[in-house]
Structure 1
C-alpha cells in the first residue's frame, strides 16, 4: 500500500480522517438541533438529527474497517518503519 506523508498508509489515514470529521460534525450538529428546536422549526431539527445519525453511522463504519485492517495484521495500521506488521 502506498504510504502518505503521515507515515501511515493512505487508506488508514483516509479512514481516520473520515471518522474524525464525521464525529466532529456530529458534535456540531447537536448544537444545530438545539438551535432549530429553540426556533420552533422541528422539521429542520429532525433533518439535523438525521444528518447526525448518518455521520455517526459513517464513523462507526470507519471504526469497523480500521479494526478489520488491524486484525489482518497488515502494515496498513502501523506507521512506516514500525517494527509491527
Structure 2
C-alpha cells in the first residue's frame, strides 16, 4: 500500500470520530456522577448525549470506510 497522505476531509472525519468518542466517554462519567448525586434527570440527559455521540461515531466510521 502506497503512503498517501489523508485528504483534509478524511482527517476531519477521523478527528470528528475521535472527539465524538471522547464526548461519549466523558458523558458516561457525567451520568455516573449525576446518578451518585441522585439527579436522575441530569443522568438521563448525559446518557442521551452519550448515545447520540456513539451514533455519530458509528456514522463517521461508516463514512470513513468508504473513503480510505
TM-score (norm 2): 0.88
> Going by fraction, where is helix more abundant, 1 or 2?
2
What 5-or-longer segments of structure 2 have no aligned partner?
none
Higher relative contact order (CA 8 A, sep 6+): 2
Q: Structure 1 segments of 4 or more deviating over 4 A? A: none
What 5-or-longer segments of structure 1 have no aligned partner?
1-6, 70-76, 78-85
TM-score (norm 1): 0.72
CA distance in 1: counterparts of 2:22 and 2:49, whole angstroms? 13
Correspondences of 1:17-36 after superposition (within 5 Å): 17-36=15-34
Larger radius of gyration: 1
